[in-house]
């Protein structure tokens, strides 16, 4: 009987025009956003290295002469001299369009020298020219990945492989949450307005909920997958496919690791599925309590925005950090960890928390249903 009910709900969902419009919107977003993204001015490696190298003229001129006479000052000055030399060699390799392996080796040495200068306290160096440790870690992770996988270090920023992670990051957070909440807003409409029809299926409330969650989740993820595929083909037609083995940085264990683009997309897709499932369960739980569609959506939006709202109000909200895992892009990039000062807000813990949030929401929904069932039985026994 469960499968018949699942088929019944599937037919209802396929006839839901609102969800089809939302699905088309999420699919069309990927090629449409590229029109804006392609106009973005992105600094190429030649320009970035030129700007870095030119900064050393100011750095050397501003370095205190009296400090150079000290042992620490001389060591720091020699460190900066080596950095300048390595940067100019990198510019030469880029201009020459060859010896990229030497470019990578010099880049790793450059990052190590910057870490050494941090250990010295960056003496003699104006804070404006100090490269943050996080940026150095990112650079090392990327260069090491290029070296291990023998990839070209001069990617096309507008290729499909580079565009998709950017587009997925933009969808992450409130935009994806709104898509899920609106698409799931009609989950309980038939049950609440046509109870005689639903009562024709002799299955429990939790079985009905499981069926609804399954088909809504499958539909939402199919729309998202369709958007990724359509977007990839569209961008590839405009530019090129690129290389899906190129690295994307992911924050983990207070450091940055480089993973392939295809793996990053898979990570994001799985995280989106866990987020969607949690939001659907939370929607059902709150909706059965309020019996009001708009109130349910409003309550969920307020809950999801609570960390940001409290932060703006100047209220300590670190205890709400699990809700920030909903914005998976900021977690994978390390922005969430920097914002909350919590090093455990990384890739590994995001999956653990998202699975935990799903289990917690489902258990609460199950216990509430069991409690109602027990009360109804007790009431029926009293009446009889």
Question: What DSSP state is assigned to residue 200?
Answer: T
Partners of 250 in the beta sheet? 257
Q: Which fold has domain 45-149?
A: de novo design (two linked rop proteins) (1.20.1440)
Q: Which residues is 259 bridged to in the sheet?
A: 248
Structure-model confidence comparison of residues 203 and 67, the more confident one: 67
Query: Is the pTM value of this prediction over 0.85?
Result: yes
User: How many CB atoms sit inside 10 A of residue 265's CB?
Assistant: 19
Instruction: Give me the pLDDT at residue 224, please.
Output: 96
Residue 307: pLDDT band with limits 50, 70, 90: confident
For 284-293, write each residue's pLDDT tens digit.
999 888 888 8
Residue 172's pLDDT is: 93
pLDDT of residue 247: 93
Based on the number of CB atoms within 10 Å of its own CB, is 342 exposed (0-12), middle (13-18) or buried (19 or more)? Answer: middle
- 382 pLDDT tier (thresholds 50, 70, 90): low
pLDDT band at 188 (very low <50, low <70, confident <90, very high): confident
pLDDT tens-digit series, residues 241-281: 999 999 999 999 888 999 999 999 999 999 999 999 999 99
Mean pLDDT of 50-71: 88
Q: Is the pLDDT higher at 11 or at 227?
A: 227
Q: Over the stretch 71-83, which tens digit does the pLDDT of each residue have? A: 888 999 999 999 9
Is the pLDDT reported for residue 201 higher than 90? no
The residue-averaged pLDDT of 212-218 equals 92
When pLDDT is averaged across residues 180-198 and rounded to a whole number, the result is: 72
Show me where the domains of the chain are located. 2-40+157-383, 45-149
User: What phi and psi values does residue 199 have, to the nearest 5 degrees?
Assistant: -65, -15
Read out DSSP for 321-384?
GGGGGGSHHHHHHTHHHHHHT-TT-SHHHHHHHHHHHHHHHHHHHHHHHHHHHHHHHHHHHHH-
């Amino acid at each position: 009987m469960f499968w018949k009910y699942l088929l019944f709900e599937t037919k209802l969902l396929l006839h839901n025009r609102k969800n089809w419009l939302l699905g088309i919107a999420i699919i069309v977003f990927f090629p449409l956003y590229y029109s804006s993204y392609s106009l973005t001015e992105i600094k190429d490696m030649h320009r970035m290295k030129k700007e870095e190298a030119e900064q050393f003229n100011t750095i050397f001129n501003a370095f205190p002469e009296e400090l150079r006479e000290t042992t620490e000052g001389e060591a720091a000055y020699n460190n900066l001299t080596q950095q300048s030399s390595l940067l100019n060699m990198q510019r030469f390799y880029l201009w020459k369009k060859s010896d990229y392996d030497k470019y990578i080796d010099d880049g790793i040495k450059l990052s190590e020298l910057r870490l050494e200068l941090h250990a010295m306290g960056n003496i003699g160096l104006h804070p404006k020219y100090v490269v943050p440790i996080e940026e150095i870690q990112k650079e090392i992770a990327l260069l090491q990945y290029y070296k291990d996988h023998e990839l070209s270090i001069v990617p096309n920023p507008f290729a499909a492989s580079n565009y998709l992670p950017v587009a997925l990051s933009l969808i992450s957070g409130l935009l994806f949450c709104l898509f899920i909440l609106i698409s799931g807003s009609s989950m309980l409409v038939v049950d609440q307005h046509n109870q005689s029809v639903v009562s024709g299926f002799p299955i429990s409330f939790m079985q009905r909920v499981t069926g609804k969650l399954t088909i809504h989740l499958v539909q939402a993820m199919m729309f998202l997958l369709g958007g990724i595929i359509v977007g990839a083909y569209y961008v590839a037609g405009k530019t090129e496919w690129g290389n899906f083995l190129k690295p994307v940085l992911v924050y983990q264990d207070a450091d940055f690791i480089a993973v392939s683009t295809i793996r990053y997309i898979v990570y994001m897709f799985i995280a989106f599925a866990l987020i969607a499932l949690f939001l659907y369960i939370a929607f059902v739980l709150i909706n059965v309590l309020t019996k009001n569609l708009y109130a349910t959506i409003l309550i969920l939006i307020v809950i999801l925005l609570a960390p940001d709202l409290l932060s703006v109000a100047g209220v300590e909200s670190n205890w709400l950090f699990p809700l920030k895992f909903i914005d998976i892009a900021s977690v994978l990039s390390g922005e969430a960890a920097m914002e909350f000062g919590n090093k455990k807000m990384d890739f590994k813990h995001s999956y653990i928390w998202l699975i935990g949030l799903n289990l917690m929401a489902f258990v609460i929904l199950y216990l509430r249903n069991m409690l109602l069932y027990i009360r109804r039985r007790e009431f029926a026994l009293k009446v009889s």
